[in-house]
Amino acid sequence: MIWLVCVAAACTVWFAMASAYVDAREIEGQCFSSAPPGAIVTEDARAFASDRTAIPAGRLCTYDAQDGGTVETQTGWPTTIMAFVGTGIAGLMLVAWPILGRRMTAVQHVLTGSALLATGLGWVSIAVFASNG
């Protein structure tokens, strides 16, 4: 059972990675739909700056403000919070593994370790993806 919880936790992190990838491909859609009040929004995507971010896994959109400055908005918070919760659950399972693992088969140990590794690699992938864009 512990391995199944770890697989679910890993899926939350990889879902955040997939969400960040989708955000990166739909620059105009994500930034237009999340424009804050006071931002000058045009149909020209060059009218604002957009950067990938790791925490939260999404986009930081910077717009010119109507009063002369700039305003920013960030996408990706819901999926990143879900990934934090999944990572916390994976951490709890890592602590409980020696206690609950006494009754596990060898295959269940491998599945648990693989899912915990996938959780960590998910966060590494999010960080690398954000730094490359």
Which pLDDT tens digit goes with each residue over 21-52?
A: 887 777 666 677 777 777 777 766 566 777 88
The string of pLDDT tens digits covering residues 63-112 is: 888 888 888 888 888 999 999 999 999 999 889 888 887 888 889 889 88
Distances (CA, A) of 38 to 44, 62, 100, 104: 17, 12, 54, 57
* The predicted structure's pLDDT at residue 40: 78
**Domain map (residue ranges) of the chain:** 2-131
Confidence grade of residue 11 (pLDDT, cut at 50, 70, 90)? very high
For residue 18, give every residue at least 6 positions away whose Cβ sits within 8 Å of its Cβ, in sequence order, or none.
none
* The predicted structure's pLDDT at residue 13: 92
Asked whether 87 and 123 are in contact (CB, 8 A), the reply is yes
Q: How far apart are CA 65 and CA 61, in angstroms?
A: 12
Of the ranges 2-16, 50-64, 85-99, which one carries the lowest mean pLDDT score? 50-64
The answer, as to whether pTM is greater than 0.75, is yes
* The predicted structure's pLDDT at residue 28: 62
For the chain, the three-class secondary structure string (H helix, E strand, C coil) is CHHHHHHHHHHHHHHHHHHHHHHHHCHHHHHHHCCCCCECCCCCHHHCEEEEECCCCEEEEEEEECCCCEEEEECCHHHHHHHHHHHHHHHHHHHHHHHHHHHCCHHHHHHHHHHHHHHHHHHHHHHHHHHCC
Q: How far apart are CA 42 and CA 48, in angstroms?
A: 9
* The predicted structure's pLDDT at residue 29: 66
Confidence grade of residue 19 (pLDDT, cut at 50, 70, 90)? confident
